[in-house]
Each structure stands twice: as C-alpha cells, then as structure tokens.
Structure 1
Amino acid sequence: MGWFNAMCTSVARLDGKTAVITGCNTGIGKVTVQDFFERGARVIMACRNREKATQAAEEIKQATASKSNLGEIIVEELDLMSLKSVRSCAEKILAREKRIDLLINNAGVMTCPYGKTEDGFEIQFGTNHLGHFLLTLLLLPRICQSTPARIVNVSSVAHERGTMNFDDLNWEKTKYNPIKAYGQSKLANILFTKELDRRLKEAGVSGVNVYSLHPGVINTELSRHVGDTFGKAMGWIYDNVIGCFIKSAVEGAQTTIYCAVDEKCARESGLYYAECAVKTPKKNALNMDDASKLWDESLKLVDLPLDYNPFK
C-alpha cells in the first residue's frame, strides 16, 4: 500500500457510454475496465494479447457476478508497437461503434532494454507516445461526435526526468538511457495532451476534454523490465523492498478513473493530475513550442500529412 492514496468518490454512471481502454488485461487498466463495467459502460479492451484480455474480461465478469446494472466488455486486438495494428484496430472500432465517449490511453512499457518497434521507433517512445498519438487521431472524429467526451493519457512523474530530443527522438545517435527514454515518452504524453487541447479549442470543438496524469508508483507488470535493465539485484529490491511501499493496482487506477468520470473536472481540459487533483508538471511539460513541434514530428513519423485534420 502506498503512503497516500486519493480515491475517486464519484458515483457517476456510464450507461449508454462507450469507452476504449488500451493495455488493460492487467494492472490499473484492468481495474479501470472493471470500474467502467460496473458503472454500466460498454468497454472495449484494446490489448496486444487477445487471449489474456479475454481471460481478464472473464475474471472481471466473475468478480462482478453478484452486481446489477453492469455494462458490456468487448476485446479488440491492438499492438501499439505496430502502426499497422493501430490502424486496423481503429478501423474495426469505427466500423462497429456509433460513439466513443471515453478513450483511455493507458498501455505502456517502462525502462526496457533498447529495442525498436515494427516501424523502427525506439520501443518506449513508439509504444507510449506514437501508438497512442495515431490511435487518438484516428478515433478523434467519432469522439468529437460523441460529446461530452473525454480523452485520458496516462503519463508519469517520470516526465520530470525527460527532455524532448527532437534531433534524435528514437535514440539512434545518442547512447541509450532507459530511464531518460521513458521520461521522454512520458513527457510526450503531457505535451500531446496540451497540444490536442489547444487544437480542439482552435478548431471550435467543444465538449471534448483531454487529461494527462501520474497514477503513482504502482506494483504492476509495468515494472517487469527493472531486473533486465538494472540487474537482478535491483529487480529483487524493487519487488521485495520498494514494492512494500508503492500502490496497488486499485489505488493506482483512481486518478485515471477520476479524470474519466468525476463531475468536478468536467469543465477542465489540458491539465495534469495526480492523486485526483490538478498538479503542476515540470516546466518542460508546459512548453507549447515543444508541444506544437512534437505534434508535427509525430504526424511525420506515423505517416500522416502535416495538414491532417482530425477535428472534422
């Protein structure tokens, strides 16, 4: 259990609402699925491993079998390390869903050894930012038709150790540092949130709110690469010592849930949260020039034209 854990106290229902959640067969994503399901939402679990996601969905249904007014759970395959998979997933969702009220960009990898995605991006930047960037833009027209709607980007306090190295976003020239690479990807989540909010307002789109957040340090599978990257000793310390003082998945999901459903932040957008409250991120995360540049660079990397308009 963590030292301090704010809880989302909203009892808002999500009946008739459709939510898309990425990377949610374990950890805070799975907790978020169950929360929305209990609130009556139609929840699309967008996960890389369909079998594990299906099993997680069954576990959620079994855990809530005694409850009433539940929603629906649908599993959709999504591999954020493949832009082809992102496009395929978005196409299937758009073909089937008449509305998308909530998009929770939750999936992520942390401090993993150097590697590249299917499209040649550094794994953490490609998965944590670019995959979600493309998915969001592809789904955005439907989201804009489903107002009031919310987009929640799960970032991290690790953004404070990140800088946007626009000359080498994919660590091809710079000596790879897994912590700094993770920090860059989490900084990108916040900058994307701020730029998306700015562009929504500039396009005259009302009723679509965007949030970024730090969920806390959580004892989930996200930390599975700690031992691989920093050695078995550090992995053991993380699992057996640090793990005693960090959050459970239920505790870690609360700020995500808060940003998605709470009435108090219904008119807030483009802000950063922790412990179910607005917080001020690092100065680098407030740099709107970087936010705009990241948007343009991301469009190029995911092969969308610079004049691409997702706000129609």
Structure 2
Amino acid sequence: MSWVWTDVFCHPLWALSTVILGFVLRSQRRGPWNPRACSVQLKGKTAIVTGANTGIGKFIALDFARRGARVIMACRSESRGSAALQEIRKLSGNANVHLRMLDTSSLGSVRAFAEGILREEKELHILVNNAGVSGLPREVTSDGIEVSFATNHVGPFLLTKLLLDLLKRSAPARIVNISSMNHWKGKVDFSHYKGDNLSYTMDTVYNHTKLHNVLCTNELGRRLQGTGVTANSVHPGVVMTGVMRHYNFLVRFFFNLVGIFFFKSSEEGSFSPIYCAVAQETEGISGKYFDSDCSLVLPAPLARDAALAVKDFEFCERLTSKL
C-alpha cells in the first residue's frame, strides 16, 4: 500500500512548493535554457559523469570540461571510453579529463570505482548518474539483482552512497540522477529487484527502474537537508541515443525514423541535466524533478509518495549492505 494518512497532509505542501519554485525558475530563464549561454565556470571543481562515452553523458562531460572542471568519465567500455576521452579533450582544450572503468550492473565494480575515487580525489562537487539501459532480456547478475535494476538504479544508488561523505566535505555539491518521464508508467514491487514478477514487454522494466530513481532521489534530497549537497532527478527528453540498441530491428527502425523528425539530439538531451548540475537558478533546490525543458515539475503521484520513498530507500540500503 503506497499511500498513508500522513501523506494527505505532506503532499499538498510538497506539490505547492514545487509549483511555486517552477514559476520562479521559469520567470528567471527568459526563454529556453541553453548551456552555451550559461557563464558558470567550474575551474577547481571535480565532476563525475557515468556513461560518459556516448550520448547524453558524453555531451554532459564535454560541457563540464569546457567550463574548466576536472572531469572523471566513468565508463564500462575502455575502448569507447578512450575514444570519447580524446575527443572531449580535443574539443574542450581541457587535458584534465580522465577515464575510469565502471560497470553499474556490478556492485563489485561500483565499489572498486568508488574506492579509487576516494583514494585519488580530495574533492567531488558534481555527480551525474547517467548510465542506463533499456530493453535487456531477463537476466540476474552475480549479485542476485535483475540486470536492468542493477544497472539503472541499484548500482547508481550504491555509488552515490559510497561517495556521499566526499560530496558533503566538498559542499556545495550537486547530485543529478537521470530518470525519465516513463516513470509515470512504472510500478513498485520489491520482488522486481530479484527479477521476479516482471513483464519484459517493450520498456516496462525500464519504466519501473526510472520510478525508483525518482523515489530514492526525493528521499535522498530530504536526508541531505542542511548539508550543502543537493540531489535532483531529471527527464532529459525523448532522445536519439544508443539506449534502444537492445530492442529488435523493427522497434529500432521505427524509433530512429520517428526520431529524425520529433526527438531530441543527444546534445539537446544533455541540457536539462547540465541545468540541474551548474545553473545558478537551481542552487539549493533539492529532492525535486525537472523535465526536458529545464522546468521544475511534479513527478507522477506515486513518485511523490513520501512513505514509499523512505521504504524504497531503506530497501536499497539493506540490499546493497548485504552484497
């Protein structure tokens, strides 16, 4: 059961504050927000972007590099990551961009990556959890977690937890979790984490993971109050990226055909995550959800369930502490 009596009182206030903040941010922007028009510099700052070798993540890393940040590209493929690294260094003129191996589907890989960061980095100011998959067939990882849940949610959840103290010591700092408007179609069933009771029709599993992203980000934002670290989730838009590569040929063909006319490019899809990560207008905002227009909006009703968010967060804490 996802609704409790206390939510009847807390949700209207939460919703009202989101609407008010949304109007304030819209009034400050004066038209579509574009990172190239944002003068914020990140010299002396350190940023991590997962899944940074392609698509949205690559453009986020490039933007941070152009702003002078020390950028750590967390990638699963060393060959693709190395190619993207050289391209970003060349386009940005910033040599302080580095590649580290990370597979968010493996909790062992997440822990090894985090250990390296804590050993090598004195500060961390931005963490963008971008890596994700869609359309994978049913598989349970060696950790006993359904592979899409591991990649899209449990791995990023653990990574954030392991780096949280470093982020707090580096405050002000920001955490940006890439979710999707598809979270509106997601459901919460904790047996899903183990790969049980799941339907693998189209993007159904992906939708569930994106709902968990928003729920746990909301709860993380609440827990981080007063620390100087913010956490928000964001929908980058319907974007032409490689996320569809696991679907069959006909689905990919239709997606790409329609996408030519209606979908965003990967660069355009990076705008809203960059907005959350660097814009002065979003400073201090936490536990909220932004859409692809860089607007603060209300997520799905289920994602606004504070009691469910606590339950989900605590479940993930227990799950990752045992593995």
TM-score by length of 1: 0.89
Q: Letter of the 1:25 partner, please give it.
A: N
| Pair 1:34-2:62 in alignment | yes
Per the TM alignment, residue 51 of structure 1 is displaced from its structure 2 partner at its CA by: 2.1
Aligned length: 291
Q: Which residue in the other structure is 1:125 paired with?
A: 149
Is the 8 Å Cα contact of residues 83 and 131 (structure 1) preserved in structure 2?
A: yes
What secondary structure is seen at the aligned counterpart in 1 of 2:41? coil
Q: In the alignment, residue 295 of structure 1 is paired with which amino acid?
A: F
- Which residue of 1 is the match for residue 177 of structure 2? 153
1:179 to partner: Cα distance:
2.0
Match of 1:53 among 75, 81, 86: 81
2:14 corresponds in structure 1 to none
For 1:260, give the aligned amino acid.
A
* Match in the other structure for 2:52: 24
- Report the counterpart of residue 309 of structure 2 in structure 1: 291
Q: Which secondary structure state, in structure 2, belongs to the residue aligned with residue 152 of structure 1?
A: strand
1:73-125 deviations in Å (ceiling 9; x for gaps): 01111011110000000000000000000000000001222222231211211
| d(CA) in 2 for partners of 1:167, 1:120 | 12
Moved over 6 A (4+): none
CA distance in 2 between partners of 1:103 and 1:164 (Å): 26
Q: Report deviation, 1:5.
A: 6.8
Partner secondary structure for residue 190 of structure 2: coil
Residue number in structure 2 paired with 1:94: 118
Q: Spell out the pairing of 1:229-248 with structure 2 (5 A cutoff).
A: 232-248=249-265
Q: Please give the residue correspondences for 1:1-312 in structure 2 after superposition, counting only pairs within 5 Å.
A: 6-8=33-35, 9-65=37-93, 70=94, 72-201=96-225, 205-227=226-248, 232-274=249-291, 275-303=293-321
When the two chains are superposed, the root-mean-square deviation of aligned CA atoms in Å is 1.7
Contact 1:10 1:263 (8 Å CA) reproduced: no
Matched residue type, 2:285: E
Structure 1 segments unaligned to the other structure (5+ residues): 306-312
Q: CA deviation at 1:180?
A: 2.1
Is residue 66–residue 92 contact of structure 2 (8 Å, CA) maintained in 1?
A: yes
Task: Report the alpha carbon displacement of residue 178 of structure 1 after superposing the two structures with TM.
Answer: 4.6
Partners of 2:105 and 2:155 within 8 A in 1: yes
Q: Which moved more, 1:263-272 or 1:109-118?
A: 109-118
In the TM superposition, residue 279 of structure 1 has moved relative to its aligned partner by 1.1
Higher helix share: 2
The 1:304/1:116 distance shift into structure 2, 3 A limit, reads closer
Is the CA contact (8 Å cut-off) linking 2:47 and 2:127 kept in structure 1?
yes
SS in 2 for 1:258: helix
Alpha-carbon separation, structure 1, partners of 2:322 and 2:166: 18
User: Deviation at 1:286?
Assistant: 0.4
Contact 2:49 2:130 (C-alpha < 8 Å) held by counterparts: yes
- What CA deviation, in whole Å up to 9, does each residue of 1:215-267 have, x standing for no partner? 0011111111232xxxx222211122334321111100000100000000102
Report deviation, 1:181: 1.1
Give the 3-state SS of the residue equivalent to 1:260 in structure 2: helix
- For residue 6 of structure 1, report the CA deviation from its aligned partner: 4.7
CA distance in 2 between counterparts of 1:243 and 1:114 reads: 30
1:64, distance to aligned residue in structure 2 (A): 3.2
The amino acid across from 2:311 in the alignment is: K
8 Å contact from structure 2 (residues 134, 148) kept in 1: yes
